[in-house]
Structure 1
Amino acid sequence: MDDETRRVLELCQDIARDETLAWLEDAVAEIRWKSGGKNRARVRDGLIVAVFRHYESRAVDSRPLLHDHAVVSIRARRPDGTWGNQTADALMKHIVAADALYTLLFMEEVSARLGWAWEPREVMPGRRPVMEIAGIDRRLIGWQSTRRQQIADALLLLTAKYEERQGHSPGKRAAYAIACQAADQTRSPKRTQLRSLSELRAAWRDSAARAYGADVVARLAERARAAAAAIWARVRPLVDVALAAAETIAVVYVMRGAFAHRHLLAEARRHLSYALRGRPHQPGLDEQIVQAAIDAYTRPVGSGRMMTADLHALYPRDTEDQAVLRPLTRNRSATPYQRARLAAGALTARVHAARRADRLNSPTRPHTVAVPSTLRPCTGRRTGRDLEPTTDVAAVELTRRTLEAVAAEMAARLQAGVRERATRLPSPDSAAAPPLSAQPPVQHPQGWTPPTGGIA
């Protein structure tokens, strides 16, 4: 990979990281004061963050891994300007939603600037797939992901021991604890010999070329662009809010049971990453999906801080089908994510069936948001750099109105033609033709003989 592409990728990393931190500042970070932190409010003047960039992983053999470490200071300003301590629990609770937002923004920036697309890849069988750049040789992914492979191998062994000991597959908390244990067991010590980025890149390039050939390394970007063209030719740049809400609520309900707004938000952002594959999303679309899911498919539980799926809302007229989701939450033969995907498929099929049933009698459903095929960069409010392109909703609305006007004009012309033809037809009460016996005789000329049908 050339130096220009590397700089573009680092710029995408900067933009996605800064926008994610900005979201944490504006929507999540809180500062507390008084006894027990009973008073809480949004921080004033933002967060204090120190960012450290690393280019390689902790694998035994050095491998490229661009990532940043962001250290957030606990000190922040209160609304009155005084200094205090912010609540770390708010940041920790939203860490998954922040990670999903960063992934979504980074994918969009890379696709907009380099013309690459993304595709899901299953790392562990039955687990949630990860989004990878389409067209990258799988051998290169395996060469780069040695650390991931070490963790995966240890995770399989630890999971097998857990199932043998407990008699069932681990749940979400147990799976997370096992993953942390696998990462700790395979973690290599930090390197004492430091090398510059130029030396690291040269070593990585030589290692990959020796393993799989120089042509595979040299044509990496070219193959990624070709794969992106194929993906964007078959992936519709549309997000159906109703279907996305049904899928989001099904996945979160099966995997968690009770959930909060932040859990739905993280899953909605994952859905956008998978559905758009790097195409830009309309700002606020993730919140629209979450709000649609909350309004249509949830009910409060406990003290009201948590929610769960409302099966009566999911199946208002068919109580027998409410059992579609409940067995999936208790089925130990499949992983939680596999059960979640089955539930999502059941609910989206239900939505499709309901739409087919009332398609002729229902008005146009405002649940589809168009995404432009051409990317228009805009300027960020904080960094002044090009950020994610925005969706031209006004153009989509104008197109819809134009099509409706043309359809109405064609219908009016058809009706006018029908009325015009109706006026030309004889009226039903007109006089009937006289019978044959009442018709006057035909006068033949003199010397005429009737034909016999023979040959003269």
Structure 2
Amino acid sequence: MAFGDGRRPVGQSLKDAQEMAGLPPGKWLGRGLRALGLTEGAEVSERQLELLFGEGRHPDADRIERGLLDDGVDAATARRLTVLGQPIEEIEARRQTPLLGMDFTFRPQASLVVLWALGDATVRRVIERAHERAVAAALRWLEDEVAESRWASGRGRAKTPALVVAAFRHIDNRDGLPLLHEHCLILNRVQRLGADGEPVWGALDTYRLYQNVVAAGTLYTLAMTTEVCETLGLATVPREVTPGLRPVMEIAGVSEDLINWVGVPPPAHRGRPGGAHRPVREGPRPPALRARPSPTGLVGGAGDPAREEDAEAASAAARMVPSASASGDSSNSPPWSTSPLPAPGSG
């Protein structure tokens, strides 16, 4: 999720992979950052990810360990002092799989994706700012109302309103179609006060977090939709997705065809278990992000019915999406081109 779908070539850095994928670097979120010496909004480095989510150690463990070794501490003790909570080696020794992180993904409803994909620069900025604030609101709610630490097989519990989150922005799905969404990788380590009153690191009650996934997603959707509608003067209408279940509130005026254009997999992709990867035609991409180079070329081009269908939908959307800017600047052109661009997208 740090650089999209697929695998990186051996030796390629995370930063290079993100640039090739046309994705921004990840950023740190959450109140728990202070205990680790991290700053909210700062860029997530590859080494920090390896240490925190790969080894369960402090993100600055290399420096800490070197300092301890210089002070004469033995290597095993120096390494142990950089571990947050229970070492993963102890967990694996019990033949259990360590759980160091959980991916909470936030995405707007399809009609907002259409507006973001085909609106002008001002519309995109409004939607992206609303998206960022809605993600922050959902994470704050999880911290304030949900997050708890558990230990001693659940006999010990404590409120822990300070999560550590690595957030990664994606801009399309696995078929290269527009899909603004945020992967929030929540660290399964939080601080609480120990019996001696000193802070100790332990695990989250992950079951409690998963119980509140839908509520967090609903809060995100409500916050984002409200801000976008109030800022752009839009309204919402109910849209039935599954008969008998609560409808989804979509932006009024966005047609079913356009919603399906960004929200429904193409026919050749339906019915595959788990949405299996496949070579796909290139989808459009915002101009502010670097186009993705394709190592294998493109599938589909002139005369491709699927491409022509998407072009027709995009053309119709460009005619109906409201413009929030009257500057006439060239940056107000729709961010998603229907002409071929290199490299498939990710979700």
TM range, smaller chain: 0.3 to 0.5
Q: What TM-score comes out, normalization by structure 1 length?
A: 0.36
Q: What TM-score comes out, normalization by structure 2 length?
A: 0.47
Computing the radius of gyration over CA atoms, which structure comes out larger, 1 or 2? 1
